[in-house]
Structure 1
Amino acid sequence: MAYEIDRDPSPDSPRLGAMSLPPVPESVSRARCWFQKFIAPYNPACSIEDCALMISELVTNAIVYGWSDDDWVVRVEWFRDGASLRIEVHNPGFPANVRLRRPDANDAHGRGLLLVDSIADSWHAGPSRFGGTVVSLVVDDAWPG
C-alpha cells in the first residue's frame, strides 16, 4: 500500500494539506514528518512540534483501533479555520470506541487522548465523512489575527 500526500488544495479551501497512510507502525513517524514539512510554509504561530506529537498519538490510535474487512488507510487532514488550526484523523473504526482514559501510573499505554486533551484547545470524536471515525483537534490562535 502506498502513501499519498495531497499538497495542492483549491485556493478557496481552508484545507492546507492531507495524507493517506497505510495502517502500519511506520506511518506514525511519516505522518509526523510530513505534517511538519507541509505546515511550515504556512508559518503557524503555534508549536508545530506539539501538533506533530498530537498527530502521532492520533495516528497510533487510528492504527491500533481502526478495523475493516477491506484494505483501509488512515487519513490525516489539516485546516485553517480563521486563526485556528484544525487537524482531523480518520479511520474505519467505531466512533463509540473513542474515549479518554485515565491510566494508572504503571500502565504502559492509554495516554494518547489524555495528551491531546492537555495540549489542544479542544478535541472531538465522531463519525467520519469517509465512514468510520474521525478524531479532530483544534489549536486556537495558530495564526495571529
Structure 2
Amino acid sequence: MTLYPVPESVARARRWFRKFIAPHDLTCSVDDCVLMISELVTNAILYGEAEEAWRVRVEWWRVGESLRVDVHNPGFPAHVRMRRPDASDAHGRGLCLIDALSDSWHAGPSRFGGTVVSFLVDGAWKP
C-alpha cells in the first residue's frame, strides 16, 4: 500500500489492513496490529523527509506462522529511536507500544531508500 504523507492516510492504512486480513483466521489480536500500523504510519508521516514529493509504503505478509509489517519512509534510519517519555509528555510512546505489543521490531535502511520500521507478530496464523 502506498500512502500520501498526510494524517488521513493513517485511517486509510487501518481500513486497508482490516479489509485485507478479514478473510484470514488470525490467532493474534487484529486490534493490536492495527494500533501498531497506526503508530508506524503516523511516525513515517511525521518524521519522513524528502526534497521531492514522497509516499509512505506499507507492506505486510506471512512469514511461516508469523505476520510481518514494514513501513517505509524517506527519513534517515539513525533518527529512529525508542524514547522513554515522562508521564506528562504528550508524544513519544509509539515505539514503546510496538515494543510491548510485537514479538520483535527493527528499524534500518529501506530497500527503497530512507527508513523501514518493521514489526513481527509470532504465531499470527495457525500452523
Q: Show the counterpart of 1:23.
A: 5
Give the distance between the partners of 1:73 and 1:84, measured in 2 at CA: 26
Q: Show the counterpart of 1:66.
A: 48
Q: Show the counterpart of 2:18.
A: 36
Give the distance between the partners of 2:34 and 2:24, measured in 1 at CA: 15
Residues 1:46 and 2:28 are matched in the alignment: yes
Give the distance between the partners of 2:2 and 2:22, measured in 1 at CA: 19
Gaps of 5+ in 2: none
List aligned pairs for 1:1-145, cutoff 5 A.
19-145=1-127
Identity of aligned pairs, percent?
Answer: 71
Query: Aligned to 2:23, what secondary structure does the other structure show?
Result: helix
Question: Shift of residue 72 of structure 1?
Answer: 0.5
Query: TM-score, normalized by length of structure 1?
Result: 0.86
- Bigger RCO of structures 1 and 2 (CA < 8 A, at least 6 apart): 2
Q: How many residues align?
A: 127
Query: Aligned to 1:55, what secondary structure does the other structure show?
Result: helix
Query: Aligned to 2:22, what secondary structure does the other structure show?
Result: helix
Question: Shift of residue 42 of structure 1?
Answer: 2.1
Q: Detail structure 1 runs of 4+ shifted over 6 Å in the superposition.
A: none
Query: Aligned to 2:57, what secondary structure does the other structure show?
Result: strand
Gaps of 5+ in 1: 1-18
Give the distance between the partners of 1:93 and 1:143, measured in 2 at CA: 32
1:82-128 deviation line (CA, Å, top 9, x unaligned): 00000000000000000000000000000000000000000000000
Give the distance between the partners of 2:78 and 2:111, measured in 1 at CA: 15
